[in-house]
A and B are shown apart, each in its own frame.
Chain A
Amino acid sequence: MKSTVNGAEPLLRLQGVSKNFGPVQALTDVDLEVRSGEVTALIGDNGAGKSVLIKCIAGIHSPEHGQILWEGKPVRIRTPRDAAALGIETVYQDLALCNNLDIVQNMFLGREREQAFLLDEEAMERSAQETLSSLAVTTVRSIRQPVASLSGGQRQSVAIAKAVLWNTKLVIMDEPTAALGVAQTRMVLELTRRLAEQGHAALFVSHNMNDVFEVADRVIVLYLGQVVALRPADELDRQIVVDLMTTGASDRLGKGSMGADVEG
């Protein structure tokens, strides 16, 4: 997994991607890249196009123009299944867990293991346990407890663990900390770092500046459907990002500035 880290070819690259809904231009000529072993934050104000962008990558929308390159090869992602086949999993803001099912059942939902037409609960429980331990998700009391009984942070952790269960290369997280308290946010941010350390690529969508600077290696700023910056997090600070988010430019960075590592 580590082989692609800092390699020449990013895991995911978007070139000139545009998407409109009727007369509304949601994304305009978006170029970006996401690397394995890194947390890439996608930040932008409400309506900047963050959700549309990740839905284009997750196979829910298909862009009108542009190209998506996956491990250097052009791909078409038409359905969530296509995305899953490539190794892209999305953790949605509203979680997408079934409260009445337990943790194992949720993690394997839609991809249950079977033996002679019956569910193979033992195998699923063991895999779920391994994944949770490897991510150091330690606060759940038992993996057979219904999701309804978990705290918000624990649910988010389960949703993320669910995403990495499948030999996943890219985990997209849509505002994973939006509804969480301080301690629970910590828990999710640490988990996000751990994903990157394990060699996954994490695309972390947020408009919370604190979270972004705490967790991200690289930051993409989206403004009115356009990428206005893609830079290592340590080249940016809060003021610059706020400027970029609200006006699309920052005096301290130069107008519409892009990181040096993205070409044309």
Chain B
Amino acid sequence: MSKVDEPVTRPEADAAQTETAAREAELAVPAELAAGSVGEYVRGSLARIRAGDSGILPVVGGLILISILFESLDSKFLTAGNLVNLLVQAAVFSLLAMGEVFVLLLGEIDLSIGYVAGLGAVVMADLAGPNHGWPWWSAIAAALLATAGIGLVQGLIITLVGLPSFVVTLAGLLFWQGVLLKILGSGGTIPINDDVINNIASANLSPLVGWVVMLALVALFGLTLWRRDSKRRRAGLVAPPPTVTLLKIGGALAGGIALVVLCNTNRGIFAPIQGVPWVVFLVVGVLVLWTILLGRTKLGRYFYAIGGNAEAARRAGVNLVKIRTIAFMLTGLTAGVAGIVYASRLRSISTSIDGGTLVLYAVAAAVIGGTSLFGGRGKAIHGVLGGIVIAAIDNGMGLMGFTAASKYMVTALVLLAAVTIDALSRRGRVAL
């Protein structure tokens, strides 16, 4: 199949071994490689899934399963109102999980981001409040700077002193919880009165603007993808067939339309409420940003390289200390965004924030979404999808009147299933 193959005649001695290798390789090759037609593309994808690289398939399948289950048990689950509510609920989990993906990629973990998010919210709420009266944008900027700074400090302790991230961020969990309690006082609350900040989680785009923004985003995605794939096809590089590219763009468009139609349905009970919540586009925005960073930049490539084989990355000249520290900083930064959304939803930040559960949900969401706990494999989309799964369990069981106790137990089982898939797929990989 490969272009490298053609111009040279194979030495006889290699022939037998080549065939075995080719057969082995078949299982692990990205679908694009083997694809001259859509049929071959699909066959390639299936071979890959069998080889253990199932990507986002389990989590999407799981989501569909959960939806069917809850809908059959309680027909309120699949209503527009509940689904939009679910997306807003999922936002905090998804954002925290996207943050966690950076460190999980390196084979590290950050247990502090629940309270780091809370602290970011405190910084924002305090600065935007009557004490300081900062405008919303500078309060948000300061909050993000603070959480990124915390990530940086923790990252430096981990990389420079050489301590395990588990312990350092566990200390972070305790420490920042203490700082939070100290600032807020016992049972303290800082209310948020700034409209823009409160609107992040509670306001909706008007139906028309929702359409425009969605179509613009899909058009941008489609154009970039089409241009890249056709350029690669022309240059004779590895690329999917045009039909597959079109199908991907069509899929994005269909997803976008479904989302906007869903959100534009009137879900109000007393007064009409419709439109895509701001926070949905915020999550999509962070998702796009982090996907580009992970997939298309040097920095992202180094995260994967270090997670795959840190020693190889070091020998290739990658500055491990710098890249690892940046990962912890990005995790802190993303946690800051999650904290802002959290506070915006409650229109306040108080000592009742449970950063311990939040961070465990974040790790669980990332892993449920398909990010490996062993490093080297993961994407921003995993965090988003995993966050939605966790919110769906919470939401669906809530509708059915289950208590927190049962929700925890079910979430734990889902997490266990996800980690099992992760571990099994690692074992299933060829030649590893």
Interface residues of A, Cβ cutoff 8 Å to B:
80-81, 84, 92, 94-102, 105-106, 109-112, 114, 117-119, 122, 125-126, 129, 132-133, 136-146, 148-151, 153-154, 181, 183-184, 186-187, 190
Q: Which residue of B lies closest to A128 (CB)?
A: B4
* Given A145-B28, A145-B33, residue A100 in contact with residue B318 (CB < 8 A): no
Which of B28, B32, B313, B431 has the largest count of A CB atoms less than 10 A from its CB? B431
In the complex, what distance in Å separates the CA atom of A137 from the CA atom of B3? 11
Pair A143/B317 contact, Cβ less than 8 Å = no
Contacts of B161 in A (CB 8 A): none
Question: In the complex, what's the smallest C-beta–C-beta distance from A60 to chain B, in angstroms?
Answer: 9
- Is B74 at the interface (CB under 8 A from chain A)? no
Question: In the complex, what's the smallest C-beta–C-beta distance from B168 to chain A, in angstroms?
Answer: 25
In the complex, what distance in Å separates the CA atom of A186 from the CA atom of B10? 13
In the complex, what distance in Å separates the CA atom of A106 from the CA atom of B304? 11
Question: In the complex, what's the smallest C-beta–C-beta distance from A79 to chain B, in angstroms?
Answer: 9
Pair B376/A98 contact, Cβ less than 8 Å = yes
Question: In the complex, what's the smallest C-beta–C-beta distance from A142 to chain B, in angstroms?
Answer: 4
Question: Can you pick out 17 interface pairs between chain A and chain B where the beta carbons lie within 8 Å of each other?
Answer: A92-B315, A94-B311, A109-B318, A112-B298, A117-B297, A119-B301, A125-B237, A129-B3, A141-B5, A141-B29, A142-B29, A144-B32, A145-B25, A149-B28, A186-B14, A187-B13, A190-B11
Pair A144/B24 contact, Cβ less than 8 Å = no
Question: In the complex, what's the smallest C-beta–C-beta distance from B282 to chain A, in angstroms?
Answer: 23
Contacts of A148 in B (CB 8 A): 28, 429-432
Contacts of A99 in B (CB 8 A): 308-309, 376, 432
Contacts of A100 in B (CB 8 A): 304, 307-308, 376-377
- Chain A-chain B contacts (Cβ-Cβ < 8 Å), number: 159
Q: Which residue of A lies closest to B33 (CB)?
A: A142
Q: Which residue of B lies closest to A141 (CB)?
A: B25
* Given A142-B1, A143-B2, A150-B431, residue A122 in contact with residue B305 (CB < 8 A): no
Pair A110/B313 contact, Cβ less than 8 Å = yes
In the complex, what distance in Å separates the CA atom of A100 from the CA atom of B292? 18
Contacts of A94 in B (CB 8 A): 311
Q: Which residue of A lies closest to B309 (CB)?
A: A98
- Is B16 at the interface (CB under 8 A from chain A)? yes
- Is B380 at the interface (CB under 8 A from chain A)? no
Pair A112/B10 contact, Cβ less than 8 Å = no
Question: In the complex, what's the smallest C-beta–C-beta distance from B352 to chain A, in angstroms?
Answer: 41
Within 8 A of A (CB), among B275-315: 292, 296-298, 301, 304-305, 307-309, 311-313, 315
In the complex, what distance in Å separates the CA atom of A100 from the CA atom of B28? 11
In the complex, what distance in Å separates the CA atom of A125 from the CA atom of B21? 22
Within 8 A of A (CB), among B328-371: none
Q: How large is the interface on B (under 10, 10 to 19, 20 to 34, 35 or more residues)?
A: 35 or more
Contacts of B10 in A (CB 8 A): 138-139
Q: What 9 pairs across the A-B complex have the smallest Cβ distances?
A: A110-B316, A149-B28, A98-B308, A100-B308, A110-B317, A183-B17, A96-B312, A142-B33, A100-B376
Which of B20, B32, B312, B429 has the largest count of A CB atoms less than 10 A from its CB? B312
Pair A138/B4 contact, Cβ less than 8 Å = yes
In the complex, what distance in Å separates the CA atom of A138 from the CA atom of B12? 12
Pair B317/A187 contact, Cβ less than 8 Å = no
Pair B309/A80 contact, Cβ less than 8 Å = no
* Given A143-B2, A144-B33, residue A110 in contact with residue B308 (CB < 8 A): no
Pair A129/B16 contact, Cβ less than 8 Å = no
Q: Which residue of A lies closest to B11 (CB)?
A: A190
Contact of A129 among B4, B301, B311, B315 (CB under 8 A): B4
In the complex, what distance in Å separates the CA atom of A148 from the CA atom of B426? 11
In the complex, what distance in Å separates the CA atom of A145 from the CA atom of B34? 10
Question: In the complex, what's the smallest C-beta–C-beta distance from B233 to chain A, in angstroms?
Answer: 11
* Given A92-B315, A186-B13, residue A97 in contact with residue B309 (CB < 8 A): yes
Contacts of B49 in A (CB 8 A): none
Contacts of A111 in B (CB 8 A): 316-317
Question: In the complex, what's the smallest C-beta–C-beta distance from A144 to chain B, in angstroms?
Answer: 4
In the complex, what distance in Å separates the CA atom of A148 from the CA atom of B376? 12
Contacts of A143 in B (CB 8 A): 2, 4, 238
Contacts of B304 in A (CB 8 A): 98, 100-101, 105
Question: In the complex, what's the smallest C-beta–C-beta distance from B288 to chain A, in angstroms?
Answer: 14
In the complex, what distance in Å separates the CA atom of A248 from the CA atom of B183? 74
Pair B312/A97 contact, Cβ less than 8 Å = yes
Pair B29/A145 contact, Cβ less than 8 Å = yes
In the complex, what distance in Å separates the CA atom of A205 from the CA atom of B369? 45
- Is B401 at the interface (CB under 8 A from chain A)? no
Pair A136/B308 contact, Cβ less than 8 Å = no
In the complex, what distance in Å separates the CA atom of A132 from the CA atom of B5? 10
Pair A137/B312 contact, Cβ less than 8 Å = no
Contacts of A106 in B (CB 8 A): 312
Contacts of B20 in A (CB 8 A): 151
* Given A101-B305, A149-B431, A183-B13, residue A119 in contact with residue B29 (CB < 8 A): no
Contacts of B298 in A (CB 8 A): 112, 114, 119
Known A-B contacts: A96-B316, A109-B305, A137-B4. Give 5 more (CB < 8 A).
A80-B317, A119-B297, A122-B237, A142-B238, A145-B29
* Given A98-B312, A122-B237, A149-B24, residue A141 in contact with residue B432 (CB < 8 A): no
Contacts of B429 in A (CB 8 A): 148
Q: Which residue of B lies closest to A107 (CB)?
A: B316
Pair B25/A150 contact, Cβ less than 8 Å = yes
- Is B235 at the interface (CB under 8 A from chain A)? yes
In the complex, what distance in Å separates the CA atom of A228 from the CA atom of B10? 39
Q: Which residue of A lies closest to B312 (CB)?
A: A96
Pair B317/A136 contact, Cβ less than 8 Å = no
Question: In the complex, what's the smallest C-beta–C-beta distance from B314 to chain A, in angstroms?
Answer: 9
- The 8 A CB mask of B355-395 against A (1 = contact, 0 = none) is 00000000000000000000011000000000000000000
* Given A98-B376, A105-B301, residue A140 in contact with residue B2 (CB < 8 A): yes
* Given A98-B304, A122-B232, A125-B237, residue A139 in contact with residue B14 (CB < 8 A): yes
